[in-house]
Structures are given as C-alpha cells and as structure tokens.
Amino acid sequence: MKSISSKKLKGNILIPGDKSISHRLVILSSIAIGKSNIKGILKSDDIMKTIDAMKNFGASIEFSNPYNCLIKGVGLGGLAEPKSALDFGNSGTAVRLIMGLSASHPITTLFVGDASLSMRPMDRVLKSLVNFGSSYSLRKENYLPAILKGSDNPIPFSFELEEPSAQIKSAVLLGALNTPGVTKVKDKFNTRDHTERLLELYGANINTVKKRSVREITIKGINELKGIDVSVPGDPSSALFPIIAALICKNSDITVKNVLINPTRDGAYRVLKDMGADISFLNHRIMAAEEVYDIRVRSSNLKGINIPRKLSPTMIDDYPILAVAASMAKGKTYFKGVNELRFKESDRFSGILNLLEKSGVRADSKKDDIIIYGKSELKKGDIEIETNLDHRMAMSALVMGLVSKKEVKIDNDETIKTSFPSFYKVMLKIGAKLSKK
Ligand code: S3P
C-alpha cells in the first residue's frame, strides 16, 4: 500500500470492535457455562488465533454472520489438552492471556507464533504463573516456542505487577479462575482494566479496591462464569488512525461512531486535546461494561507537549500514530518513559525514530524518551518504510503519507489485518489518497 498528500477528509465511519475486549470475550465465553452471543466482534487475524486456540481446548465457536459470534463454553476447569501446537501468529495478547488460563489446568500446551511474536519476551508472563504450580520451558529462556505444563493442584498467591503490562495482570487473573482460594494482584501502573470489568459481567467473584494509586484486585476461584449477550465497542486505538489523519489533513471533519473510551486506555485522546485538537465526544452510552462515544474531529493546529511517563500505560499502543500527529504539531513533543515500546509487535522505539527520520522530521532519543521537533508543514515523502511485521507501524506510515508531498510506501500491508481489516476501506471512505499498489 502507499499514500500521498490528502485534503478534506469527510464523513461518518464505523471502526471494528476493540481488539483487547474481543480476545477476552472469546476466552471468557469459552470457559463459561452456557452460550454467549458476541455482536460486533473484531474478526481479524489476531482474534481468529484466539478463536482457534479456544476451539482446540474444546469450546464450540461459530459465526452467524461476519460480526456475530456464538460461543458454547466448556465450563470452568473443562479445558481439554490440545492435540497439537497452538499457533498464535502475531498476537502477544492471545498467547499471554491463554498461557495464564492454561497454567491452572492439568494439561500441557505447546505455544508457537510468527517471526515477530517469536522475538517478544514470554518469561515475564510465565515466571509469574509458576506461583500457581505450573512449569515451563522457552527457547533461549525467553522466546517461543514455549511448553507450559499447567498445575493439577493450583495454588492461589499474591502478586505485584513489576512491568506496566495488562497482559501479565490478565494472565494471572485468568489463571486464578480455576484456582481455589483467593488470588490477589496489585497494579500500581493502572493498566487497562477490561479483564476485571468483563469478569464481573460473567459473574466471577472479583473485587477491586484502590489504595492510594495502587489497584488491588482479588479473585476467589472455582466460581462458574455464565455465558452473556454482549456488543463490542469500537477500538479506540484503531480509531486514532482516521482521527489523527483528520486532525492533520486540512479542512477535514469526520465522525467516528461507537468508540470505547476507558480511563485506562484514553491517554492519547487526553494528550490530543492538550495539543489543541478539536475533538468532541458525543452520545455517551454503555456497552460491555464500558463507556462509548461517537467522536467528531475537525482539522486543528496542533502544538507540541510533554507527555509524562505515568500516562504511557494508558496509550502504549498509540505512540506510533501520535508521533505522526507530533510531527505536524508546532514545537517539541516529549514521549517520556516509553521503554515498553521496544517489546511490541516490533521495536517501536526504533521504528518511530526511523519513520520520522525518513520523513525529514527531526527527532532525538535519550534513554527511555523520544523528542519530536514538529512543524506544521507537508513532509517530503518519496520513502519506503520497513514495518517489521507491525500493523501499527504500517498504518502510521500510511497516515504520514497523507501529509507528504510525495508518496509513502510500506514494505508489507498484510499485518494490518491483525487489528484493522477494514482500514483501507474506512480511509478511502473519508477521502484519503491511499492505493493498494
Ligand atoms: C493489551 C495490552 C498491552 C497492549 C496490547 C494489548 C491487552 O500490552 O500493548 O496491544 O489486551 O491486554 P502489554 O500489556 O504487554 O503492555
């Protein structure tokens, strides 16, 4: 795919269901008693990996139409041992959450992934799961393939999150479901809380209290979950691609319908407002225990700002596209404390610097910080970006092309299907100059 300078993005669009919530709904429905009906699920490559894995554990999962998924769960403790390796493709969330779930079942599972996932750290999750009584081995002690032998007599424990990772937290919470007694997780980073919200919907025995700025989550295990009927809100990270495109392309005015806005995920929206973005949140409602809005965005003159480290867990997936916004803002933008970017689908810390440098935007890095010197003017273009199998780097590069004099090409657009299969269609609908070849 390639893109070039665009004007006047206009129209109303719908973006696909939230990726984090879709993974969790598939997993929880697959271990609940009875049927769940999930409307508006994200049908992307990543979610299909979770669906395949849960089918291998014995759940029945069918689509009644492309966005409506019917799941009959196996009931708590009912996971069957998979007959072959589970392939998680590009999805870190799928592999880590399902490691957590299987750690408290008396089964042995082999986990594999694509080239990008096989370079991402897994020890950070598996070492916490040992507390349940599970054991594991990893290639070079940190990478897939992994073999996990779940515990036949899981033990509850108290756990304090050491990295700002909702995946690690969620892995422990999912393991706790089939563990007798009370498992406790302390989260001082305020990571995304979809697992906790959804567990309540399914009737889990879960409780969260906030002590100073630390969230303490307790789960009492061996309490059956019950199937639910639910609609999935739109993904706020996917929504940011058309939203930031509209902010930086002149004379634009778009509305993105049905977007999830959660205080543990909305950092990028708060930051854009502080940068001077004209964004309004309309028609508030609740879906899947989450707040949802239609978001209207008009072109804006952005200014650079300082984004503190403490905001990073609330916007960790959104730095690549925010870097594009910052490159068009007047003045310096600081991304503080963004080391976790190195452990995503690719090393996004380096990927962001590379995209900016190739586009002719000055940027520096100091330890865990990135500094972007923005200018409200078209970038040079005539570049090709290596995306390193990273969907968000691919879409960010294409949005950079919309404010570039000459074309921006990417080396691989296949990965966009992992999170935002309708990206091309949605961007064309609002008038972006994007082409397949
Ligand atoms: C996710 C958590 C984040 C995020 C990922 C989805 C989740 O990862 O980057 O895209 O659904 O829990 P970490 O928890 O590793 O930060």
Do 157 and 253 reside in the same domain of the chain?
no
pLDDT at 98: 98
Tens digit of each residue's pLDDT, the chain (437 residues): 999 999 999 999 999 999 999 999 999 999 999 999 999 999 999 999 999 999 999 999 999 998 899 999 999 999 999 999 999 999 999 999 999 999 999 999 999 999 999 999 999 999 999 999 999 999 999 999 999 999 999 999 999 999 999 999 999 999 999 999 999 999 999 999 999 999 999 999 999 999 999 999 999 999 999 999 999 999 999 999 999 999 999 999 999 999 999 999 999 999 999 999 999 999 999 999 999 999 999 999 999 999 999 999 999 999 999 999 999 999 999 999 999 999 999 999 999 999 999 999 999 999 999 999 999 999 999 999 999 999 999 999 999 999 999 999 999 999 999 999 999 999 999 999 999 98
List, by residue number, the catalytic residues. 317
Single out the residue of 294, 292, 341 nearest to residue 319, CA to CA.
341
CA atoms lying within 13 Å on the CB side of residue 63: 13
H-state helical runs in 117-208: 123-129, 166-176, 194-201
Structure tokens at 127: 């070492």
Do 410 and 271 reside in the same domain of the chain?
yes
pLDDT at 437: 83
Do 336 and 273 reside in the same domain of the chain?
yes
Do 372 and 407 reside in the same domain of the chain?
yes
pTM (two decimals)? 0.98
- Measured from the CA of 316, which atom of ligand 1 is nearest? 9
Do 217 and 287 reside in the same domain of the chain?
no
Do 88 and 215 reside in the same domain of the chain?
yes
What is the dihedral sign for C-alpha 420, 421, 424, 426? negative
Structure tokens at 380: 């040079």
Do 218 and 238 reside in the same domain of the chain?
no
Q: How many domains does the chain have?
A: 2
CATH number of the domain at 279, please: 3.65.10.10
Q: How far is the CA of 302 from the centre of ligand 1 (A)?
A: 28
Q: Which residues line ligand 1 (CB under 6 A)?
A: 20, 93, 165-167, 170, 192, 316-317, 340
Do 218 and 117 reside in the same domain of the chain?
yes
CA-nearest residue for atom 10, ligand 1, is 317
Do 243 and 320 reside in the same domain of the chain?
yes
Which domain range does residue 145 map to? 19-231
Domain final position from 231, 250, 279? 231
